[in-house]
Amino acid sequence: MQDTRQIFSVRDLTRYIKDAFDFDEVLQNVWVRGELSNFVHHSRGHMYFTVKDEECKIKGVMFAGNNRYLKFIPKNGTRVLIRGSVSVYERDGQYQLYAKEMQPDGIGSLYMAFEQLKEKLEKEGLFDERNKKAIPRYPSRIGVITSPTGAAVRDIITTIRRRYPVANVLLYPVAVQGEHAAPSISRAINEMNERQDVDVLIVGRGGGSIEELWAFNEEAVARSISCSRIPVISAVGHETDYTIADFVADVRAATPTAAAELAVPHIQELHHRIDVLSGRVATSLRHQVKRLRERLERLQRSYVLRQPERHVMQYEQELDRLQQRLVRATEQYRIQKQARWKEMHRHLLQYNPTATIQRERERLHNRQERLERAMRMLVKEREQKLDRQIGKLDALSPLKVMKRGYSLVFKEAEGKQNLVTAVGQTAVGEKVAVRLADGALICRVEETQKGDING
């Protein structure tokens, strides 16, 4: 039995399915509504995402060549309408949506782009009121950046010439709608700032749809206005139209005509103000002249001008009085200085070396006399004490005792004479020496008797 089955490789089957998708007219141009998730903006510019609803989801891709024209930045959770084709990504065998257009679902893409750029620039501080520049009150030259053929330029020039014909208008023609409008407007603002003779700029155009006004919502225009050295008045569309340029500009005008009115004062009002100020100056001058004239009359009637010599006499008298005070003060000053000099002289004499030496000599002489007197007294006292001691010694002298009949007995032993004070110290027959007051007796002991010989 012959096998009739057709067996595909995975690759062939995938290509078969892909061809079925690619040749389907409906799948090559479909609109899909859903919510974005898993959104990734690749560094090469391609966008990868998933579009889902309550029940299903499909992967999608939007290549850089298609997404570069998006007016808004897609993100997770954004509900969108996508136009594109459905095909198979062969490597994964998965079908996916290849987006060619994308727009927010429910609101326009331009509106979303407007809100996104507004939020971004506001966070950067481009709308901060503290950075707004004041419009000069009396500009000499007004730069107007708008279309040279629109009604706006006519309204602006007519209004300026009517209100303030002394000012010059410098028109910089630009494209105000279309692909080249934003670069044209941005370049005009930058070149106007290179000039030194423009006092204020009016940037705008007449009314139109959001697409026609879109150049004034471009980031390049907003940043040029923000960097402008010259104050900028935005005048875009009608009163109800708001653009990013209106938020960044130093002043927003509801219409181009209103911008011209904000840029210059009304010359009739200036004439009226000049008249009022002239009247105030004239009145002030009259009052000043009157006051000065009255003062002059008072001076003419014054005592000084009528009898100046008497006024001089008063000063002469005052001069005499001051001279007397000066003489007294001078004399008092001299006396004080003289007393001070004497005091200083006396102090100096105290420290004179000759006087000091004389005083020290007198002090030394006195001390020498006192010292000699003390020494004499001390010598005399010591001599008296010595005499008393000699008297005492003389009274106790053995010679004195011997003169009264007493004698001393000595015996000689070993070459020395020893005083005999007891009977036992001698022996019978022993030679002794008896010393008297006027000499000595050499005797020999005949007998010894111990005890009281008187008794």
pLDDT tens digits along 9-32: 999 999 999 999 989 988 999 999
Among 66-75, 210-219, 276-285, top mean pLDDT goes to 276-285
Among 229, 248, 234, 112, residue whose Cα is nearest residue 176? 234
- Examine the pLDDT at 308 and tell me if it is beyond 80: no
Distance CA 250, CA 130 (A): 10
Least confident of 108-122, 142-156, 167-181, 301-315: 301-315
Q: Does residue 75 register a pLDDT over 90?
A: no
Decide if 335 is inside a domain: no
Q: 350 lies in a domain?
A: no
Mean pLDDT of the chain: 89
Average pLDDT rounded to a whole number, residues 353-367: 90
Domain count, the chain: 4
Q: Compute CA 408 distance to the chain's CA centroid, rounded to the nearest angstrom.
A: 119
Between helix 219-227 and helix 109-124 the angle, nearest 10°, is 30
Question: Which of the listed ranges 3-12, 227-236, 356-365, 432-441 does the model predict with the highest average pLDDT?
Answer: 227-236
Of residues 178 and 399, more confidence is placed in 178
What is the distance between the alpha carbons of residues 22 and 28, in angstroms, rounded to a whole number? 7
pLDDT at 399: 78
pLDDT at 276 (0 to 100) = 94
111 Cβ contact list (under 8 Å, min separation 6)? 104, 210
Average pLDDT score over residue span 63-81: 86
Rounded Cα distance, 194 and 227, in Å = 12
**Residue 34 and residue 52 in contact, taking contact as beta carbons nearer than 8 Å:** yes
* Residues 121 and 158 occupy one common structural domain: yes
Last residue within a domain, chosen from 105, 138, 159: 105
User: Has residue 173 been placed in a domain?
Assistant: yes
Beta-ladder partners of 85: 98
Question: Is 383 a domain residue?
Answer: no
Q: What pLDDT score does 106 carry?
A: 67
- Please provide residue 270's backbone torsions phi and psi, each rounded to the nearest 5 degrees: -65, -40
> Greatest CA span in the chain, whole angstroms?
199
CATH of the domain at 208: 3.40.50.261
Neighbours of 345 (CB within 10 A): 10
- The pLDDT assigned to 107 comes to 63
Give a yes or no: residue 329 inside a domain: no
Q: Do residue 117 and residue 81 come from a single domain?
A: no
Residues 121 and 224 in one domain: yes
Q: Are residues 70 and 125 in the same domain?
A: no
How many C-alpha atoms does 172 have within 13 Å on its Cβ side? 22
Q: Tell me, what's the pLDDT at 374?
A: 95
> Which pLDDT value is given to residue 455?
46
Q: Are residues 229 and 261 in the same domain?
A: yes
> Residue 140 and residue 380: Cα distance in Å, rounded?
129
Note whether residue 74 is domain-resident.
yes
pTM of the model: 0.51
Mean of pLDDT values over 390-405:
82
Last residue of a domain, which of 105, 132, 155? 105
Q: What is the rounded CA–CA span in Å between residue 279 and residue 277? A: 5
Pairwise pLDDT comparison (348 vs 108), residue with the higher score: 348
Confidence of residue 427 (pLDDT cuts 50, 70, 90): confident
User: Which pLDDT band holds residue 438 (cuts at 50, 70, 90)?
Assistant: confident
Greater pLDDT, 343 or 113: 343
Confidence of residue 266 (pLDDT cuts 50, 70, 90): very high
Asked if the model's pLDDT at residue 175 lies above 90, the reply is: yes
pLDDT of 201 reads 96
- Winning range, highest mean pLDDT, from 331-335, 342-346, 436-440: 331-335
Quote the pLDDT of residue 377.
95
- Indicate if 260 and 164 belong to the same structural domain: yes
Asked if the model's pLDDT at residue 314 lies above 80, the reply is no
Q: What is the pLDDT of residue 452?
A: 63
Residue after which a domain boundary falls, among 82, 105, 128: 105
Tell the burial category of 149 from Cβ atoms under 10 Å away from its Cβ (0-12, 13-18, 19+). Answer: exposed
CA atoms within 13 A on the CB side of 351: 5
Shared domain for 93 and 141, answered yes or no, is no
**CA nearest to 170, candidates 148, 149, 138:** 148
- Does 123 score more than 90 pLDDT? yes
Tokens 């799948």 correspond to 27
Average of per-residue pLDDT across 329-347:
93
Domain-located, residue 138: yes
Q: What is the CATH number of the domain that holds 60?
A: 2.40.50.140
Q: Are 152 and 42 in a shared domain? A: no
Residue type, 205: R
Q: What is the mean pLDDT of residues 140-164?
A: 93
Same domain, 131 and 232: yes
What is the structure's pLDDT at 454? 54
Both 118 and 94 in a single domain?
Answer: no
- For residues 172 and 291, state if they share a domain: no
- Please give the average per-residue pLDDT across 352-379, as a whole number: 92
Query: CA–CA separation, 211 vs 213, rounded Å?
Result: 6
Same domain, residue pair 159 and 243: yes
Q: How far is CA 64 from the centre of its chain?
A: 51
User: pLDDT digit string (tens) for 230-257?
Assistant: 999 999 988 777 899 999 999 999 889 9
Query: What is the pLDDT confidence band of residue 448, given thresholds at 50, 70 and 90?
Result: confident
Least confident of 44-53, 116-125, 345-354: 345-354
Hey, what's the torsion of the CAs at 26, 27, 32, 35, to 10 degrees? Answer: 160
**Residue 32: inside a domain, yes or no?**
yes
pLDDT of 414 above 80: no
Predicted confidence (pLDDT) at residue 270 exceeds the cutoff of 60: yes
pLDDT range class, residue 8, cuts 50, 70, 90: confident
Range of the domain at 38: 10-105
